[in-house]
Chains A and B, each alone.
Chain A
């Protein structure tokens, strides 16, 4: 991809954000007027463990450029242990993507607490950059799926 193309490409990142930490963190980033790229489409879930692995597969196959799952730091889950299960499922999903040579960089798990507005802005900025380098998700153009 040329530098110009990269400049013009705004990735579509689907964000599954936990209600208690990451979504609130995103809110804080907004009320603090922090700047970050308009690339993320937030979907609020009550817990990161609500994110069925099928959501990730579906989003990538339907043409999303990346999926970001955000949850509370380990030990801080509003439901005590939801994020531990998320972590295990995510380890499985990364392995499945890697085993098929699918780009596992297009799925990301980040712990962002309710007080980490700046971290939310930084994660989105950094991830958007990474996905820009990676280029658009080629699966978006496949007709057999």
Chain B
């Protein structure tokens, strides 16, 4: 049971009021949230309360996985001064993974994260229909249903209730409920303790959405039929890949400044071409497309949070996110691991138990 505060007002203005108060009272130095950016959307840092107008904290859209950005903000050091960060549950989980991999610092962030209905996809965004889709989106979400036009991996996401948020936002028809989960959060609203009560989520809505998501997840995984793929299937799926590596550059888990697959190391030297040709009689140029994707899977599947960025940026519509989420799910189950579920539990590949996995050795 956490402390609950009810805020009136529509989706955008309620939370924005809270953020404005926090900035004006000096309890936080800055706000990090998504907002209007010309014709598009992107993340912003704001310190001046007067410049919060374009901020749309609960907009159901992910222009970039914020974990990437927060990692950049704190690279090598913690940030001074508190920042209120409004991000989606999967972004927060990805951020936790980066902290565990020593790619980001958690200190001085106050995490505000909503119970998430999913992110609207880039097709809607690119066609200019994002704003028009919002009324229907919220209507479905308030009814505990999956909204239309969200990312396939969002519709199949079971972790839509944030796991490490200081403040969980539960949007509803007539305003939002704020659940203050940590001491730091309670401290921020000390002077408003009269507005607080003890409470819990509307579990009916959560359960209803959870059931829908579960069904969708099974359907998504079944339809992929990965087990039947084999090398032929991999070639079919990745045959369209242009090799732009967009999927890895937007992936929050792919944090390497210089990706192994972008180095000279990964280039074939002429003798290797000759050798391959002498054995196969033909080869794709450039080679290593399947290798890139399988390789990326070995690097990030253990921590994949299924945010869906990779599929949305893919110029040739390869369902990368669905595939990686499916493999991630399988690999994570081996170690009974939910990526980003907390900031302390080590990433399974960086730790071990002496007496385990005897079946792996022959």
Interface residues of A (CB under 8 A from B): 53-54, 57-58, 61-63, 74-75, 81, 84-85, 87-96, 98-102, 108-111, 138-145
| B235 interface residue per 8 A CB criterion | yes
Partner of A85, one of B234, B287, B331, B352: B352
The answer to whether A91 and B294 touch (CB under 8 A), given A108-B362, A143-B284, A144-B235, is no
0/1 per residue, B272-304, Cβ < 8 Å to A? 000010011111100111110011011001100
The answer to whether A145 and B226 touch (CB under 8 A), given A57-B298, A99-B327, A100-B234, is no
Q: How far is the CA of A144 from the CA of B233 in the complex (A)?
A: 12
Q: How far is the CA of A63 from the CA of B348 in the complex (A)?
A: 30
The answer to whether A63 and B298 touch (CB under 8 A), given A100-B233, A101-B228, is no
CB of A105, distance to nearest CB on chain B (Å): 10
Identify whether the interface residues of B are mostly helix, strand, loop, or mixed: helix
CB of B69, distance to nearest CB on chain A (Å): 28
| B56 interface residue per 8 A CB criterion | no
Q: Is the CB of B231 within 8 A of A102?
A: yes
Q: How far is the CA of A58 from the CA of B301 in the complex (A)?
A: 18
List residues 188-239 of chain B with CB under 8 A from any CB of chain A. 226-231, 233-235, 239
Q: Is the CB of B357 within 8 A of A91?
A: yes
Q: Is the CB of B279 within 8 A of A140?
A: yes
0/1 per residue, B329-362, Cβ < 8 Å to A? 0110011000000000000110010101100111
Q: Is the CB of A95 within 8 A of B235?
A: no
Q: How far is the CA of A145 from the CA of B352 in the complex (A)?
A: 33
Q: Is the CB of A54 within 8 A of B361?
A: no
CB of A118, distance to nearest CB on chain B (Å): 16
Q: Is the CB of B302 within 8 A of A92?
A: yes
A96 / chain B contacts, CB cutoff of 8 Å: 294, 297-298, 301, 327, 330-331
Closest residue of A by beta carbon distance from B326: A99
Q: How far is the CA of A28 from the CA of B260 in the complex (A)?
A: 37
CB of B141, distance to nearest CB on chain A (Å): 32
CB of B294, distance to nearest CB on chain A (Å): 5
Partner of A145, one of B233, B289, B335, B362: B289
Closest residue of B by beta carbon distance from A57: B294
Q: How far is the CA of A33 from the CA of B260 in the complex (A)?
A: 42
Q: Is the CB of B298 within 8 A of A99?
A: no
Q: Is the CB of A144 within 8 A of B327?
A: no
The answer to whether A74 and B354 touch (CB under 8 A), given A57-B294, A61-B291, A93-B298, is yes
Which residue, of B284, B295, B298, B348, has the highest number of chain A Cβ atoms within 10 A?
B298
Q: Is the CB of A145 within 8 A of B283?
A: yes
B235 / chain A contacts, CB cutoff of 8 Å: 142, 144-145
Q: Is the CB of B301 within 8 A of A100?
A: no
Q: Is the CB of A81 within 8 A of B352?
A: yes
CB of B327, distance to nearest CB on chain A (Å): 5
Q: How far is the CA of A130 from the CA of B141 in the complex (A)?
A: 54
Can you list 6 pairs linking A and B with CB atoms under 8 Å apart? A95-B331, A96-B327, A100-B233, A109-B362, A142-B231, A142-B280
Q: Is the CB of B360 within 8 A of A144?
A: no
Partner of A88, one of B276, B326, B327, B352: B352
Closest residue of B by beta carbon distance from A130: B362
Q: Is the CB of B349 within 8 A of A85?
A: yes
Q: How far is the CA of A95 from the CA of B354 in the complex (A)?
A: 20
Partner of A87, one of B287, B295, B361: B361
Q: Is the CB of A91 within 8 A of B334?
A: yes
Closest residue of A by beta carbon distance from B282: A143
